């Protein structure tokens, strides 16, 4: 069950810990394995490459419970295993999704994680509804996509980031000034001063520091949800008294699934979401890495083989 893909593009992000050799990919099919049955994909098709489609085993503890993104049996492209930095990659056909017209290969590559992880978290885990008021921490590589996903749902979203330029980009997307926490302003004070106390249904924490996790528990309404995606601090403190008395739901999310990716690509096609991605060339990798380290790359950078 193999597809070989040349002209592979991949995107990557600033990352602590072990290197990931390309977990966000997009490429064109050059060959389809003889065991592939019933697929509509053809040689020549441009496909987005989902890194963790799972093994699909009926006896798999994760795949049999609709948790393919945390399956340990299937191949994890670019996550501790061979990924999409290679000019050709062999993948399970279940991880290939046709890229719709109007979506660039760079966008399709970042759609596989930077958009898909946010989409899965907000739609499948947080089940954010149009009637909700949400509070979003972090407008970086994932958070800025999260903002567009929540706006597409139609929910109100209050945005918070320590970077002025990120807040300006949120304003350009149409977030009213009254829903933007000024850089450096305490979120807890902002919520009280702007009549939002008891009104934040869901906090979307795409940062995950001691400070954002602390603020989240204080600003969320009674009966509300804390959606945890960012993990900048590896350990945070749950206030048991706040959690129980406010009857909070702490919801963690990781990655996304192929069906999410199909929906995400349609949202990019209709421009409900426009991922922030710059394009570069593979041979420029060292220079791009340096620029990333110096904070000169916004969102994500997709490197092209050709």
**Using CB under 5 A as the criterion, which residues of the chain lie in contact with Zn ion when the complex forms?**
54-55, 60, 63, 71, 73
Min dist CB 58 to Zn ion, Å, is 9
Name which of 29 and 52 has its Cβ closer to Zn ion: 52
Question: Among 124, 140, 154, which residue's Cα sits nearest to residue 225?
Answer: 124
Min dist CB 252 to Zn ion, Å, is 19
Distance CA(242)–CA(246), nearest Å, equals: 6
Give residues with Cβ within 8 angstroms of 98, minimum separation 6: 40, 41, 45, 46, 47
- Check residue 59 and report its DSSP letter: T
Min dist CB 78 to Zn ion, Å, is 18
The answer to whether 203 and 248 have CB atoms below 8 angstroms apart is no
Question: Among 138, 136, 26, 152, which residue's Cα sits nearest to residue 77?
Answer: 26
Instruction: Give how far the C-alpha of residue 173 lies from the chain's centroid of Cα atoms, to the nearest Å.
Output: 18
Min dist CB 55 to Zn ion, Å, is 3
Name which of 26 and 71 has its Cβ closer to Zn ion: 71
Phi-psi region of 276 (alpha: psi -120 to 50; beta: other; left: phi over 0): beta
Name which of 13 and 76 has its Cβ closer to Zn ion: 76
Structure-block tokens of residue 79: 């996550």
- Check residue 81 and report its DSSP letter: B
Name which of 63 and 108 has its Cβ closer to Zn ion: 63
Name which of 92 and 113 has its Cβ closer to Zn ion: 92
> What is the total residue count of the chain?
306
Min dist CB 193 to Zn ion, Å, is 49
Name which of 67 and 98 has its Cβ closer to Zn ion: 67
Residue with tokens 């990931």: 20
Distance CA(302)–CA(26), nearest Å, equals: 10
Min dist CB 56 to Zn ion, Å, is 6
């Amino acid at each position: 069950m193999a597809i070989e893909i040349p002209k592979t593009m991949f995107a990557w992000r600033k990352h602590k810990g072990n290197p990931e050799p390309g977990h966000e990919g997009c490429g064109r099919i050059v060959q389809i394995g003889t065991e592939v049955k019933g697929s509509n994909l053809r040689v020549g098709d441009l496909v987005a490459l989902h890194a963790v489609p799972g093994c699909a085993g009926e006896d798999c503890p994760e795949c049999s419970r609709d948790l393919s993104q945390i399956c340990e049996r299937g191949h994890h492209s670019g996550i501790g295993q061979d990924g999409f930095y290679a000019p050709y990659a062999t993948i399970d056909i279940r991880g290939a999704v046709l890229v719709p017209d109007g979506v660039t290969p760079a966008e399709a590559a970042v759609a596989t994680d930077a958009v898909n992880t946010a989409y899965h978290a907000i739609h499948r885990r947080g089940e954010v509804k149009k009637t909700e008021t949400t509070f979003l921490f972090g407008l970086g590589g994932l958070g800025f996509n999260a903002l567009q996903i929540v706006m597409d749902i139609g929910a109100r979203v209050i945005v918070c980031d320590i970077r002025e330029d990120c807040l300006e980009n949120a304003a350009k997307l149409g977030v009213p000034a009254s829903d933007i926490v000024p850089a450096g302003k305490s979120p807890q004070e902002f919520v009280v001063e702007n009549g939002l106390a008891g009104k934040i249904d869901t906090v979307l924490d795409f940062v995950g520091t001691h400070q954002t996790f602390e603020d989240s528990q204080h600003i969320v309404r009674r009966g509300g949800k804390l959606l945890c995606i960012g993990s900048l601090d590896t350990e945070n403190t749950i206030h048991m008294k706040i959690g129980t008395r406010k009857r909070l739901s702490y919801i963690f999310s990781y990655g996304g699934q192929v069906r999410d990716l199909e929906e995400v690509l349609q949202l990019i096609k209709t421009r409900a979401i426009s991922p922030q991605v710059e394009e570069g060339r593979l041979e420029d990798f060292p220079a791009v890495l340096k620029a990333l380290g110096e904070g000169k790359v916004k969102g994500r950078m997709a490197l092209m083989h050709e």
